[in-house]
């Protein structure tokens, strides 16, 4: 499936002429194909469906709200590395219970926010971080799913 193609020597995305779009919005700009993203997501989801695996989009790869929202609407979770990315994923409509928090150097405030929101999992990067999560979870009277890296 190709949603980008040439018509009369001009590049198009989903039948929209990109040079005309550039004239309207200026350059540089990013152009995404919702149908291409959806098609590829569905192919991946179908390929792994029997495994019980959940797809979690790495928000750091592209935090464009429209992209994150589209993938979330298709069922994707989110893999975030900061409170900002966590807030962005939730603003895009991804429920907290489909969000994983990864990355080194998570602050106490970020961890407390994630725990308070009830995210799916925190990926623990160190013994110190484990102790912080344990303390915060006890204070919040919450059970927190973790993975050790």
Whether 80 contacts 101, CB under 8 Å: yes
SS3 category, 61: helix
Determine the pLDDT at residue 1: 56
CA atoms within 13 A on the CB side of 127: 0
Whether 23 contacts 43, CB under 8 Å: no
- Distance in angstroms (rounded) separating the CA atoms of residues 106 and 114: 10
| 149 residues of the chain, pLDDT tens digit each | 578 999 999 999 999 999 999 999 999 999 999 999 999 999 999 999 999 899 999 999 999 999 999 999 999 999 999 999 999 999 999 999 999 999 999 999 999 999 999 999 999 999 999 999 999 999 999 999 999 98
- Structural domains for the chain: 1-31 (no CATH), 34-148 (3.20.20.10)
Determine the pLDDT at residue 19: 96
């Amino acid at each position: 499936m190709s949603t980008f193609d040439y018509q009369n020597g001009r590049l198009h995305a989903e039948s929209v002429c990109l040079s005309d779009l550039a004239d309207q919005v200026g350059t540089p700009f990013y152009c995404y194909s919702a149908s291409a993203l959806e098609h590829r997501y569905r192919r991946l989801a179908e390929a792994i469906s029997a495994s019980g695996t959940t797809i979690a989009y790495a928000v750091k790869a592209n935090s464009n709200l429209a992209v994150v929202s589209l993938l979330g609407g298709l069922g994707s979770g989110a893999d975030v590395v900061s409170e900002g990315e966590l807030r962005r994923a939730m603003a895009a409509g991804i429920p907290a219970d489909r969000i994983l928090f990864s990355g080194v150097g998570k602050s106490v405030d970020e961890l407390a926010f994630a725990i308070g929101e009830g995210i799916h999992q925190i990926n623990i990067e160190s013994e110190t971080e484990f102790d912080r999560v344990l303390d915060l979870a006890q204070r919040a009277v919450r059970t927190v799913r973790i993975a050790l890296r």
